[in-house]
Structure formats: structure tokens, C-alpha cells
Amino acid sequence: MPARRISRSAMPIRDPQTNLNTTSNVSHPTIVAMDPSENDDSAVHSQLCQHLRFLYPNADTERLADQVIAIFDDFNSQTPLPLHQLWSQEDCLLITYGDSIIDRDTVPLETLQQFLTEHLKDSVSAVHVLPFCPFSSDDGFAVIDYNEVNPKLGDWSQISQISQRYRLMADIVINHVSSQSQWFQNYCAGVEPGASYFMEANVGDDLSAVVRPRASPLLRPTETASGLKHVWCTFSHDQIDLDFRNPQVLMEFLKIIRLYLQNGVSIFRLDAVGFLWKEPGTNCMHLPQTHEVVKLIRTLTDAFAPGTWLITETNVPNHENLTYFGNRNEAHVIYNFSLAPLLVHALLTGKTEYLKRWMMSMPPAPVGCTYLNFTASHDGIGMRPAEGLLSDEEQLQLVETVGRFGGRISTRRTADGGQRVYELNVALFDALKGTIDGEDEWQVERFLCSQTVMMGLEGIPAFYIHSLLATANDQAGVEATQHNRSINRHKWDWQELQQRLGDESSVHHQVFGELTRRMQLRRRHAPFHPNATQFTLQLSDAFFAFWRQSTDRSQSIFCVHNMTNTTQELRLSDLNLISTDAWYDAISGRRFDEQTTVLEVTPYQSLWITNR
């Protein structure tokens, strides 16, 4: 067996009788009324003071810590869950907008619940409902009011209902707010709350090193009661960056987290958190204060809502992304951003070298941490995480190929004033309709292979709803909004979707049915625990393969994927299967006997070869 990763097989498995994430009976952090006579928050208070002293060295940190504790004054400090109970192989996440499926007779959040109940109750354990607050742009990421649910989607009761059956993941859009928010209106008027909440800069400040995900001007001139100001806009001029150097901004977001906990949210996605703290003259990315804010939030959720997961959204090169595990005291989960561009590249070119090289360089997640594996999202396929992994020529080839399949690109501005590709905007199903040589007949098989790779890897798989549904590029959506990202944000009519899923000849039926079958298979196999041992296998260049072993060492699964459009031969002897065990492919059900020495692996076929 190739020796790459340090085994964690001594780590105990979660007792299935106390599984916290089964779809039938999800257990969430319990909110308990606090009895001051029975509860001592001194340890939490002391830890908060350390965080706050680092962030605000000139402030009265004792008073600030008291203010934080008061926000959670009706929560009891509780014992954090054992690290091995945070997740299991049964965990699988759905990513969706609240209105990705619409029915004219029902509010969208109720339609979403109906879809989950009828089609996914045995397949997913968690649901990420993308921003559900009132907003002014960016499909929810320019929040007007964090305390309200967008009435076009539903209300807090529907949010809470979803959380009763599934772990509910929500966005904390923490870097910026809408220009239409009351905070920003107050800023312009010079009144609190808001007058001191936003990041300002002077036109002459040295901002040349600031990392941007957009090509628009960084500063927005704004007339205020105090005259003309220039406010910081990392993303767009409708998304105004907050100034966390003011501790009251932090307090506002802690109140939002408390509200979300009370409504059933148990997974927090800290959106664009890497940009949070700004210091002119720096690149304003991943500054030490940003990491300290994440640590502070982690301290609070561990103390008052144990079992809550923090996920940091940092669409950046891999080495930067990994820093958000901290010393196991920041994010529980980080996105595996490099997976999507490398996997798409491998499937379009038939070359696995870049994917294998990245896989072999990835460290095992620290105990109590894991990766969130995804291949598509509401944003597109980020290309920054491929920097340093794919050459410029390989990236250009990827861009050109996806462009031929109807995809588009978004760019970012570099420090030298130039532009680079920031993301590919495309529906993943259409991105895989062919190879660098053009379209072919293997689109469904190639797409299923991409999702099966994701399901097998160390970490928790996350399916974007339009991947599950094999949704094509929404070119009409792009024309309507004039935004490239709309290409992968289609809104399905509920009746039409039901018809497509029920039609056996429909590609949507075929893909959805097979993916959910494999999702359910995955849940039954302990080697797919998010922290189970993983080794990269060195087979022929046509194969991307890895070995997973359950944490008690009783079961192995060899995940083998033909990444080409030609049939390949696989010698079982190359896998070093233990001869005393009976082996079979969990996906096809095919069993292997002593006479089986060579397998014919068809284009884009995936195998889960296991001994149990």
C-alpha cells in the first residue's frame, strides 16, 4: 500500500446509537435557560478577554467580554461534544437557494421542504439554504436585514421546520452589507447604529496590494452628513464593507448568530471571511485579526451551542485556505476549493497527474476538523484555488473548453492592474458534456464519475442542487440579469421538475436516481467516515484511485475511477487485496472470485471495491 498519510485508525468510531446526524432524527445544540446560581461562565469570560485583548488592545476588554456574555445570557455553557461525534459517513449536504424550486401555489421554503421529503429524506443529513434574508443584489449576498427572512421565500417558521429534520446551514455574510441596509442609511445620516460601522479610506492611501475578487473600483464615493467619504467595497458598490475595528460591529454579528441558533441553525458559513479585517498598506487578506474573530466565534459556539459547526468560505489558493483550521480552534470545516477545477480538468483532458499531485500533498484534516468536498456551487468553479496547481496553459485550455460548452468567465483585478480568470461560470453538467476534443456521448457517465469521486474523498460531500438535478446552463437567466453567475442559478418549476424526475427517459431522472442511490450506498460504509484513513493509489495514468479504511480497520474500500473516454484494464493484483477476504464492487454489486484477475473498466466508470 502506498505510504502517504498518517493513519488515524486508533480514533474511535461514533456509536451508531448516538448518531447526531441521521436524517430521521437530527439532534441540534440545545438552548437552555441559564440559572446564574448554577452556572459559572468565568472560563468562557477569560477566554473571551484574550480574544478581545488581541483585537482591541486599547479597549476595556473586561467590559466587552461582559457585553458578549450578555448576548448569550439565556444560554447555558455546556460541555463540547467528543470530537469523534461531530459527523459520520452518514453526513451529506445539499446546497440550494430557498427558491431554486418554485410553485405558484406555495411559498418557496415550503416547496423546498416538500422536495426534501419526497426525494432526499434518505440521502442528505444537512441543508445549506443560501442567504434567505431581504437583499438588494448578488442573489442574497447583499443583505438588507439579517434579522428577517425574505418574505418572498417564507418566514422563520419554515426555516425552523427544515432544521427539525436536517442540520441547517446558514450564511453569515460577515464582510459587508447592502447599501440599502439601515446601518448604511444611518452611516450616511451620521447616526448610530451605523455611523461608525463602515470601512473608510482616503483616495491617497496605498491600496495597491489589496486582494480583490472583482475588477470594479475598490472605493465608492459617498455623500454623508459629514461630507464626502470613500467607503470600501471589496465586492460591489452595493456591498459596503464593515469595519470590525469597531467592536460594536462584532457585537452586532454575535447577536445575529444568537438569533440563528434560536431558529435551528447548527452550521454557520462565514462568507468571504478572509477579507474581514483591513489595514491599508497590506493585502487585507487573512490578517491575524481575521483569524482571531473566527477563534472568538468558535469559543462562543463551543461553549453555548456545542455541536455547532463553523465553516469558513475562503476561495483562495490551497495553502491559504488550510490556515483556517488554526490550531483546531478556528473552523471545524473548510471548503476543499481546489477539488472542483482539478477534477474538471482531469475529466476534460483525461490527465490525472495534477489531481493526484494535489491529493498527495493534502494533509489529513486535524482531529475534530474535516473538509467540505464540492464540485459545483452557486458561484461557479473558482480558479484561484488552481493557482500553483495548474499551469497557466492548462488553465487557459480549461477556460477555452468550458467556453465551447456554453460556459462564461469572471475575472479579478491583480495588484499590477491586470486581470486574471477568477471563476468559470457554468452548470457542471454542461461543463462535462465532452472533452478538450469536443462534445461526445459520455456526458452522463462523465458527470456521475465527478460526483462519485467527490463522495469517496476524505471529508463531507456537498451537492449543489443543480448538480443533483443535472440542470443545464441557464443562458436565459444570464440574459435577464446580465450576470454570468446566473448561468448556474436556474429556478425550477415544481410541476415541471416532478414530471422530469418521474420520466425514466429524462436525463434528470437518470442522474438524480443514480446519484441518490450512490449517496445511500455511501452512508452504509464506514470507510467513508469524513476522517477515515485515505491513501492515493498509483495506478495507470487513466485512473484516479484512492484507498479508504474504516477507523476500526475492519473495512477497506478501493475507490477507482476511469477518467478517460476509453475502456481501461484494471488488474486487481495492483490493489493488493487481502486474499482471505471476499471482495465486491459496492456500486455494481459485482463480486470477484479467484478467477477474476483483470477488469474491463468502461469510460468514466467508478468502482467501490470493498470487503464488507
Question: pLDDT for 242-278, tens place per residue?
Answer: 999 999 999 999 999 999 999 999 999 999 999 999 9
Tell me the C-alpha distance between 123 and 128, whole Å.
14
Give pLDDT tens digits for 112-129.
999 999 999 999 999 999
Q: Provide the grid cell at 381.
A: 468553479
Q: Which of 296, 359, 284, 302 is nearest to 326 (CA)?
A: 296
Q: What are phi and psi of 553, to 5 degrees?
A: 70, 10
Q: Provide the grid cell at 13.
A: 468510531
- The pLDDT of residue 84 is 76
Measured torsion, CA atoms of residues 2, 7, 9, 12, in degrees rounded to the nearest 10: -150
Bond before 288 cis per omega within 30 degrees: no
Residues counted in the chain: 612
| Angle at 96 (CA atoms; ends 158, 463), nearest 5 degrees | 130
Find out whether 273 and 241 touch, Cβ atoms under 8 Å: no
Indicate the pLDDT class of residue 149, thresholds 50, 70 and 90: very high
Indicate the pLDDT class of residue 17, thresholds 50, 70 and 90: very low
Tell me the C-alpha distance between 180 and 189, whole Å.
13
Whole-angstrom CA distances from 165 to 26, 120, 283, 460 are 6, 11, 42, 18
Q: Provide the grid cell at 135.
A: 437583499
CATH of the structural domain 533-610, one choice from 2.40.33.10, 2.60.40.1180, 2.160.20.10, 1.10.260.40? 2.60.40.1180
Is pLDDT at 233 greater than 60 in this prediction?
yes
Mean pLDDT score, 56-60: 97
Higher-pLDDT residue of 300 and 9 is: 300
Is pLDDT at 30 greater than 80 in this prediction?
no
- Largest alpha-carbon pair distance within the chain? 84
Tell me the C-alpha distance between 142 and 178, whole Å.
4
Domain ranges of the chain: 533-610
Tell me the C-alpha distance between 419 and 416, whole Å.
9
Give pLDDT tens digits for 170-185.
999 999 999 999 999 9
Is pLDDT at 578 greater than 90 in this prediction?
no
Q: What are phi and psi of 120, to 5 degrees?
A: -130, 10
Catalytic residue list? 271
Number of C-beta neighbours around residue 498 at 10 A: 17
- The pLDDT of residue 23 is 34
Bond before 317 cis per omega within 30 degrees: no
Helix (H, G, I), strand (E, B) or coil at 499: helix
Most confident of 215-219, 480-484, 590-594: 480-484
Indicate the pLDDT class of residue 45, thresholds 50, 70 and 90: very high
Tell me the C-alpha distance between 300 and 330, whole Å.
11
Is pLDDT at 304 greater than 90 in this prediction?
yes
Helix (H, G, I), strand (E, B) or coil at 29: coil
Find out whether 284 and 210 touch, Cβ atoms under 8 Å: yes
Q: Across the strands, what pairs with 475?
A: none
Side chain identity, residue 459: G
Q: Provide the grid cell at 548.
A: 479508504
Q: Provide the grid cell at 18.
A: 448516538
Task: Give the predicted TM-score (pTM) of the model.
Answer: 0.92
Indicate the pLDDT class of residue 2, thresholds 50, 70 and 90: very low
Find out whether 534 and 512 touch, Cβ atoms under 8 Å: no
Indicate the pLDDT class of residue 152, thresholds 50, 70 and 90: very high
Side chain identity, residue 498: Q
Side chain identity, residue 191: V
Give pLDDT tens digits for 401-428.
999 999 999 988 776 777 888 899 999 9
Mean pLDDT score, 583-589: 96
Contacts with 4 (C-beta within 8 Å, 6 or more apart), sequence order:
360, 535, 536
Higher-pLDDT residue of 204 and 65 is: 65
Mean pLDDT score, 579-589: 90
Tell me the C-alpha distance between 273 and 174, whole Å.
7
CB environment 508-517: b (16+ within 10 A), e (fewer): bbebbebbbe
What is the dihedral sign for C-alpha 139, 144, 145, 146? positive
Helix (H, G, I), strand (E, B) or coil at 77: coil
- What mean pLDDT value characterizes the chain? 91
Is pLDDT at 213 greater than 90 in this prediction?
no
Side chain identity, residue 347: L
- The pLDDT of residue 13 is 29
The alpha helices in 332-462, defined as continuous H runs, are 339-349, 353-361, 392-404, 428-431, 443-456
Give pLDDT tens digits for 510-558.
999 999 999 999 999 999 999 999 999 999 999 999 999 999 999 999 9
Q: Is 534 exposed, middle or buried (0-12, 13-18, 19+ CB in 10 A)?
A: buried
- The pLDDT of residue 20 is 32
Tell me the C-alpha distance between 9 and 563, whole Å.
29
Strands (E) in 275-341, as ranges, are 309-312, 333-335
- The pLDDT of residue 595 is 63
Mean pLDDT score, 577-595: 87
- The pLDDT of residue 4 is 30
Q: Tell me the CA end-to-end span of the chain in Å, nearest whole number.
A: 19
Side chain identity, residue 78: Q
| Angle at 158 (CA atoms; ends 152, 164), nearest 5 degrees | 155
Q: Across the strands, what pairs with 562?
A: 543
